Structure 1
């Protein structure tokens, strides 16, 4: 806790014949982050023919998955499945080398791919025919004012027929220019619709070269005449019959696709996952070095996983491997990947830390601290017992349903669950239960402070909390810099602000005590002097300007904690407005309309208030961590630990013993 997982460097050299099995073991174990190995005496490794096939088959199978997913039977879904989704069953696969796996996938694709592609082709071609029929019907509907056979609207050996639409304001100049270009040898029929004109031109073929540029000039949108004979209305009836036939064909094709999805979908997804993992394995091959008979790899490994990984490597290689485990060198500190190491109660809050950035290897992990401060600030801002209860109940259901997945939903719900306890606690302190609903109902609600009546006290409390939060950050920064040997930075950049904050606190509590006032002034003065010296050393010529800028930056950060009071007031204010509206409506007793609308308004309004104020509390509580608190000591510039790890949702690999 407070420190990232201790990491060690692992270096392995063994025989080429163990490469595939060893990489598979490390991939399934997921404890090593493989790094690029640069050595002069050996060449880089590269993906084999089988690895290239795995990448290709991964793409092929993904296309099959996309098609079959569309036609597989959907689950029930809904809120119940969102709250508690079922686990996907895993199918076991005994791994006996990439060659055997590729052969098995090839056999599977040989059987399945033609069937799936045939079904896909049938659906696509039928859908294309349906679209063409519908397009033809739309055109025929446009032409329905004509009482002639549509075959007359097609060009002949001597005549050219053009049908199209044009903007109404361009139609008249188009006709004039067409008649002029063809010397009056053009016949036309037109009809207005909306802001367009549908027009049929008939002219001699020999005039086409004169006619066509004019149409292009006025942007005539040509219409392709549908196939068939008869008037447009007669053809529409024929097309409707064709459409019904094709829609039945499409429905049958989709049923066939559903049958294939039920038969093959799980297997296709299974092989897709196997291929994607093989593709991921091949991505590390260029990081390895090899000779004709050996290969070498290196990477970072958490110290706690060393015994397990060493035992696995020795077992896979039958003891024929050189393994070196060493401590990180001083020059490698910036390169060490960071894996956060927190107890179970704080682990879900690592998500919030990682959103900002993980610490460097020689920094403090702030996760245990923000587990408390984030949750407390959230509760202070939402500050309503019933709101906290609602948030807590929803979060508890999500935590229970998603615990087995340890996914983002579980982690986020866990943070809300912890925050809900603080919300209920602060709600009891301020006597807020759906705002002032209980007060309006005639109940006596005990409270320490009232959000509105004691707004100044709430503001003072918020600013006091802000000072404590900032002091904690500067203290952590002081400790870290001192431990890392940066004494000047610890004193000038961190201790200075610690003394300034202590001086402010002592002066605020002095209450006429002369000695306490002198002590506060001394602490503040010494802190300010150290701060000024630090600015001069760090910024030289710009020191005078930056002293003012950075000092008021601190003041701004401190005053930023006033948002604790502001959001607490906003929560109470919105809840109060809802309650007042309900109270106004409640008195209308005719047919119980007032109480009915009042209940609906109360429930809807309070749920809206829970949602909007929870969002505000989440965002602003996070901001106080990221901007104000982290700004005092934390960089977040570490490199996250990215282990060489398989993704297993529907498959489970069994390695040879």
Structure 2
């Protein structure tokens, strides 16, 4: 249900603002409202933000060197004192991480330069003369460079020039010696052939001597890099403490961001916010304990105000808030749809997946995930939704007779009591009628909820003429249609009467504010035309059958594939049977895991779609602003209060 909210105005000495903000953050019960006047104080926020960034950068440096945390890592819990202690002890870790990172970067840069130098010298490794002796003389010019082999063959060498190919490849490395008087002519010819000059870096000895020195230096740098890497691996053990420190800094950033929403005067500060009515005593006592001198004013929301929306539901219903939040938070004066979504969501999800084996995996997996890993927030709610949906799928699988794509008689023998209702594969039309019937019930229930909301608001005319009229009209037409298949003499009469009453109310009272009777009738006729939309909406529920059949067929095909693989080896005797089991078993596990993922995802999405389009369109008023109190928004741990 939607929780009543109250408005808070707090005036306290500026000296107490930090203690008040910390106290409010600790209880997590007040959403602060931004005042019209912007206060100064970005410096504190900037400092906290920079600290968090430094901590985050250090964490990212150490991340590749620590043990990876998988999806199955349980949530950590820590007290606020432990988190703040980690923050105070984090400075040396950050400094060491930065220093080691700088060392690694420096070493890597040196290695990159040496490798680049090595790659540049490798084509010239065949030169046996020391490089310093390969310079030009008074009469002879020495030239080094690269040229393509096909271009080299076109080079016309004068008699007074010598060319030596040092190495071959995509580009040939060549050395030319030419008389000074012919150099310009030969060089012009080389340029036309896309010759590229090369100049040796300052080295002594032969190229091979330099390559050997580079190899020694690279080996030394590699050892240095490994030492630094081992230091980072050792330092990465402190990554958990660094995560605590990051969360501590994030807590400070959040508090400073919210503080900027308050109004700062010369000697006092003014805070305005929203809180749940049930938390009034907690909020007022917390403020008074944080400041001995403060003024507190509380009041109900004004009609022109839009308070944030907080909901409170029983433990079994609360997880389904994540479904409604995917669409939109409810309006403050609307209705919380989570309790109304839960039964239909469970039913439709179970019918779409409808396999006892898959349901057991979801049920057990979701339960263990929730209990052992204790996921937070929306992920925790989603895990519980899947757990409940797993239980629903188990029941629907029993009713329709499916277990990992097998029919119950295949699994338990002909004496199996399942399916308890029907096998959709054998009675598609019957199952389609059930799906459409449930769809009509779903939509009519939504209209009934809208009627309740109208009566609650004191608008009985809206409830009767604009909503109940639809129930009479649609169900009356369904009764008339059903009489064509079921020989019940009174059913058609009752249906005609219901549809007639509904159509009459719609024609003459749907647009009752209009005085002109002709306009009323025209407006009513336009509404009557919308009855055709109910046909499309009802047929939309056939997707329940479609997904159920698709999932069942997929499971059967995968079982057939596994059986074919096993039978291919089982004819080879005992060894063949073992080989068949070894190959077929993991194949079946992989195939059914894929089937479960695809079909569960499809059931999740399409069930949500039925809620959002066909159901919510009848009554739900969204666009609410979720209640987001000042609290501990952490990434790596949960704060134990």
Q: TM-score range by the shorter chain?
A: 0.7 to 0.9
Cα distance, 1:19 vs structure 2? 0.8
Is residue 292 of structure 1 aligned with residue 290 of structure 2?
Answer: no
Cα distance, 1:467 vs structure 2? 0.6
Cα distance, 1:306 vs structure 2? 0.9
- Bigger shift: residues 607-616 or 228-237: 228-237
Cα distance, 1:186 vs structure 2? 12
Is residue 7 of structure 1 aligned with residue 1 of structure 2?
Answer: no
1:613 matched residue in structure 2: 599
- Could you tell me whether the CA contact under 8 Å between 2:328 and 2:622 is conserved in 1? yes
Match for residue 557 of structure 1 among 532, 537, 550: 537
Cα distance, 1:607 vs structure 2? 3.1
Cα distance, 1:17 vs structure 2? 1.4
Stretches of structure 1 that go unaligned for 5 or more consecutive residues are 96-100
Is residue 476 of structure 1 aligned with residue 482 of structure 2?
Answer: no
Is residue 361 of structure 1 aligned with residue 307 of structure 2?
Answer: no
Cα distance, 1:598 vs structure 2? 4.1
Is residue 376 of structure 1 aligned with residue 356 of structure 2?
Answer: no
Is residue 135 of structure 1 aligned with residue 116 of structure 2?
Answer: yes
Following superposition of structure 1 onto structure 2, how do residues 274-285 of structure 1 map, counting pairs within 5 Å?
274-285=248-259
Higher Rg: 2
Cα distance, 1:421 vs structure 2? 1.3
Following superposition of structure 1 onto structure 2, how do residues 94-109 of structure 1 map, counting pairs within 5 Å?
109=91
C-alpha distance in structure 1 between counterparts of 2:133 and 2:471, whole Å: 93
Is residue 524 of structure 1 aligned with residue 502 of structure 2?
Answer: no
Match for residue 350 of structure 1 among 321, 324, 335: 321
Is residue 255 of structure 1 aligned with residue 255 of structure 2?
Answer: no
C-alpha distance in structure 2 between counterparts of 1:547 and 1:485, whole Å: 23
Partner SS state of residue 330, structure 1: coil
- Could you tell me whether the CA contact under 8 Å between 1:451 and 1:458 is conserved in 2? yes
- Could you tell me whether the CA contact under 8 Å between 1:139 and 1:223 is conserved in 2? no
- Could you tell me whether the CA contact under 8 Å between 1:463 and 1:559 is conserved in 2? yes
Cα distance, 1:86 vs structure 2? 5.5
1:92 matched residue in structure 2: 81
Match for residue 276 of structure 2 among 302, 306, 311: 302
Following superposition of structure 1 onto structure 2, how do residues 328-477 of structure 1 map, counting pairs within 5 Å?
328-332=301-305, 335-403=306-374, 405-436=375-406, 438-440=408-410, 443-444=413-414, 445-446=416-417, 447=419, 448-477=421-450
C-alpha distance in structure 2 between counterparts of 1:138 and 1:45, whole Å: 60
1:572 matched residue in structure 2: 552
- Bigger shift: residues 547-556 or 501-510: 547-556
Match for residue 322 of structure 1 among 272, 292, 295: 295
C-alpha distance in structure 2 between counterparts of 1:222 and 1:163, whole Å: 4
Partner SS state of residue 40, structure 2: coil
Match for residue 39 of structure 2 among 22, 35, 45: 45
- Could you tell me whether the CA contact under 8 Å between 2:507 and 2:525 is conserved in 1? no
C-alpha distance in structure 2 between counterparts of 1:186 and 1:519, whole Å: 113
- Could you tell me whether the CA contact under 8 Å between 2:473 and 2:500 is conserved in 1? yes
Give the total of aligned pairs.
615
Partner SS state of residue 297, structure 1: strand
Distance 1:286 1:372, change over 3 A: same
Cα distance, 1:563 vs structure 2? 0.9
For 1:495-523, what per-residue CA distance to the aligned partner results, in whole angstroms no more than 9, with x for missing partners? 34322332244335543444431221233
1:74 matched residue in structure 2: 67
C-alpha distance in structure 2 between counterparts of 1:530 and 1:207, whole Å: 105
1:58 matched residue in structure 2: 52
Partner SS state of residue 296, structure 1: strand
Cα distance, 1:432 vs structure 2? 1.3
- Could you tell me whether the CA contact under 8 Å between 2:32 and 2:272 is conserved in 1? yes
Cα distance, 1:483 vs structure 2? 3.1
Cα distance, 1:52 vs structure 2? 3.7
Cα distance, 1:224 vs structure 2? 8.6
- Could you tell me whether the CA contact under 8 Å between 1:402 and 1:410 is conserved in 2? no
1:98 matched residue in structure 2: none
For 1:343-379, what per-residue CA distance to the aligned partner results, in whole angstroms no more than 9, with x for missing partners? 1111122111112111001111111122221121111
Match for residue 589 of structure 1 among 571, 594, 617: 571
C-alpha distance in structure 2 between counterparts of 1:153 and 1:484, whole Å: 100
Partner SS state of residue 630, structure 2: coil
TM-score under structure 1 length normalisation: 0.80
C-alpha distance in structure 2 between counterparts of 1:267 and 1:564, whole Å: 49
Cα distance, 1:326 vs structure 2? 0.5
- Could you tell me whether the CA contact under 8 Å between 2:131 and 2:203 is conserved in 1? yes
C-alpha distance in structure 1 between counterparts of 2:334 and 2:161, whole Å: 88
For 1:129-152, what per-residue CA distance to the aligned partner results, in whole angstroms no more than 9, with x for missing partners? 223333344444455577776779
For 1:24-72, what per-residue CA distance to the aligned partner results, in whole angstroms no more than 9, with x for missing partners? 111222111100223xxxx64221654443233232333223223443x
2:101 matched residue in structure 1: 120
Partner SS state of residue 35, structure 2: coil
Distance 1:234 1:407, change over 3 A: farther
Partner SS state of residue 466, structure 1: helix
For 1:569-626, what per-residue CA distance to the aligned partner results, in whole angstroms no more than 9, with x for missing partners? 1122112223333444544421453642444444333333222222221221121112
For 1:135-186, what per-residue CA distance to the aligned partner results, in whole angstroms no more than 9, with x for missing partners? 34444445557777677999999979685688x9xx85x999x99xxxx999
C-alpha distance in structure 2 between counterparts of 1:646 and 1:224, whole Å: 63
- Bigger shift: residues 27-36 or 478-487: 478-487
- Bigger shift: residues 614-623 or 560-569: 614-623
- Could you tell me whether the CA contact under 8 Å between 1:536 and 1:543 is conserved in 2? no
Following superposition of structure 1 onto structure 2, how do residues 491-510 of structure 1 map, counting pairs within 5 Å?
491=464, 493-510=466-483
TM-score under structure 2 length normalisation: 0.82
Distance 1:425 1:117, change over 3 A: closer
Following superposition of structure 1 onto structure 2, how do residues 169-184 of structure 1 map, counting pairs within 5 Å?
none
Match for residue 603 of structure 1 among 589, 592, 611: 589
Is residue 623 of structure 1 aligned with residue 603 of structure 2?
Answer: no
C-alpha distance in structure 1 between counterparts of 2:638 and 2:552, whole Å: 51
Stretches of structure 2 that go unaligned for 5 or more consecutive residues are none
- Could you tell me whether the CA contact under 8 Å between 2:472 and 2:501 is conserved in 1? yes
Distance 1:653 1:86, change over 3 A: closer
C-alpha distance in structure 2 between counterparts of 1:149 and 1:527, whole Å: 106
Partner SS state of residue 374, structure 1: helix
